[in-house]
Amino acid sequence: MAVLQEQTATGHDFLQRSLAEVDPEIADAINLEIQRQNDTLELIASENHVSRAVLTAMGSVFTNKYAEGYPGKRYYGGCGPTDIVENIAIERAKKLFAAEHVNVQPHSGSQANMAVYFAVLKPGDTIMGMDLSHGGHLTHGHPLSYSGRDFKVVAYHVRKEDERIDYDEMDRLAQENKPRLIICGASAYSRVIDFKRIRQICDRSGSLMMADIAHIAGLIVTGNHPSPVPYADFVTTTTHKTLRGPRAGLIICKEQFAKDLDRAVFPGVQGGPLVHIIAAKAVSFQEAMQPEFKEYQTQIVRNAKALAQAVGDAGFRIVSGGTDNHLFMTDVFSKGITGKDGQNMLEAANITVNKNTIPFDTQKPMVASGLRIGTPAVTTRGLREPDMKTIAQLIARVLDAKGDNGVIADVKKNVKDLCDRFPIY
């Protein structure tokens, strides 16, 4: 080919070489990961398998583009196609979430939260978030995260009796501390969150409200969980969990905060947007507007209920007694196994979950008494309720045998058979 020869002659043929040619080590690792995902029952509640369409957009030449600023107001030339992409992503997100204003540039969920804090908080302000060990997220005020460094942090909890959010405590703490911002939303909470009630609490204490729906965004846009958008001043989310888009973030806010928020994202906490990722977000929003996506999210919830029920039937205590969403927590220490050991035993059988503290945990976070189990990824593969019963039995066999090698080898075979019936890529 003339073009290729010319490039060879000028030394630019490297642009055309395949990944396997340029970097066999990384190419091999990618192939190992494809195989691992195909052969694994992925029960990590925050993970999912994206479509080829999303992967294609993520791997596109938009990665080459600098586009600091916003559509129509860029600091760089050549942003025509970029503006098309970002405008489409914004319009789709507004429609999907029924939002007044959205910013599609956050690189991640953590940076989305950081941008909101930059938009409305000053160092020394008081914020209130859910305690990490009760289901909250690091970025909701934990001392190990930026969010716990410059603000005074007050944490609310779940009740000991039923392991559900203690709204009365939240209300009392809000009255006592008058936080500038109350953060709700969680990483390990299996029950419906009462956003309307939280708005009332915020109004009584004069606080702004932020709902971080990183985990449940897919459920929300399909009516499988009430939406915080009518109530919250800010709604932040990731796009890669139940929403099944690229690894990234998104912020929704009331029109009155639009300018401050956009300034906080860029130039406040980020530089150039990841235009290839914004393109992939737009694709995933398009997918999320299809009727099949609603069926998918409804099935996630059905599967989570079926799996929680079956794991409970196998004798493991389920935190709060069940689930309303895509995940549940099981207290494996109720059977004398730590979360850490449980996670490792299951991983050996190609079932991936993560250890997690449970409310009022007696173990350290790196050990933990619980496992967090979620159904978004296995539901993407096409598994349904009867398969959840099978999975629960496999989990129980591994844990009850305390990781016995013979049992693990046998369960691994069963996992492989199940995975082969539901290929991903």
Q: Of the listed pieces 94-102, 104-112, 151-159, 348-356, which binds ligand PLP according to CB under 6 A?
A: 104-112
C-alpha 115/C-alpha 236 separation (Å) is 10
Report the candidate in 14, 54, 18, 40 with the shortest Cα–Cα distance to residue 279. 54
Q: Which residue number, 110 or 299, has a Cβ lying nearer to ligand PLP?
A: 110
Q: Which of 48, 103, 108, 207 binds ligand PLP (CB under 6 A)?
A: 108
Give least dist CB 128 to ligand PLP, A.
Answer: 15
Q: Does 380 bind ligand PLP (CB under 6 A)?
A: no
- The partner residues of 101 in beta bridges, in order of sequence, read 253
Q: Under rule CB under 6 A, how many of the chain's residues touch ligand PLP?
A: 14
Handedness of CA 45, 47, 53, 54 (dihedral sign): positive
* Structure tokens, 384: 């349904």
Give least dist CB 88 to ligand PLP, A.
Answer: 22
Q: Does 105 bind ligand PLP (CB under 6 A)?
A: no
Active-site residue, 212 included = yes
What is each CA distance from 387 to 165, 348, 410, in whole angstroms? 31, 20, 17
Considering the candidates 241, 305, 355, 372, report the single residue annotated as catalytic. 241
Active-site residue, 238 included = yes
Q: Does 86 bind ligand PLP (CB under 6 A)?
A: no
Q: Does 137 bind ligand PLP (CB under 6 A)?
A: yes
Q: Does 212 bind ligand PLP (CB under 6 A)?
A: yes
Q: Which of 110, 126, 133, 379 binds ligand PLP (CB under 6 A)?
A: 110
Give least dist CB 32 to ligand PLP, A.
Answer: 23
Q: Does 139 bind ligand PLP (CB under 6 A)?
A: yes
Report the first-to-last Cα separation within the chain, whole angstroms.
32
- Taking a C-beta distance cutoff of 8 angstroms, is the pair 265, 76 a contact? no
Give least dist CB 111 to ligand PLP, A.
Answer: 7
Cα R_g (the chain), whole angstroms: 23
Q: Does 354 bind ligand PLP (CB under 6 A)?
A: no
Report the candidate in 132, 145, 242, 142 with the shortest Cα–Cα distance to residue 187. 132
Active-site residue, 384 included = no
For 16-58, the three-class secondary structure string (H helix, E strand, C coil) is HCCHHHHCHHHHHHHHHHHHHHHCCEECCCCCCCCCHHHHHHH
C-alpha 40/C-alpha 339 separation (Å) is 19
Residue 83, burial from CB neighbour count under 10 angstroms (0-12, 13-18, 19+): middle
Beta strands in 75-151 (DSSP E): 101-103, 126-130
Considering the candidates 42, 212, 324, 331, report the single residue annotated as catalytic. 212
Give least dist CB 164 to ligand PLP, A.
Answer: 17
Q: Of the listed pieces 73-81, 103-111, 152-160, 391-399, which binds ligand PLP according to CB under 6 A?
A: 103-111
Q: Which of 214, 250, 252, 332 binds ligand PLP (CB under 6 A)?
A: 214
Q: Does 46 bind ligand PLP (CB under 6 A)?
A: yes
Contacts with ligand PLP by CB under 6 A lie at: 46, 108-110, 137, 139, 185-187, 212, 214-215, 238, 249
Q: Which residues are catalytic?
A: 66, 68, 212, 238, 241, 247
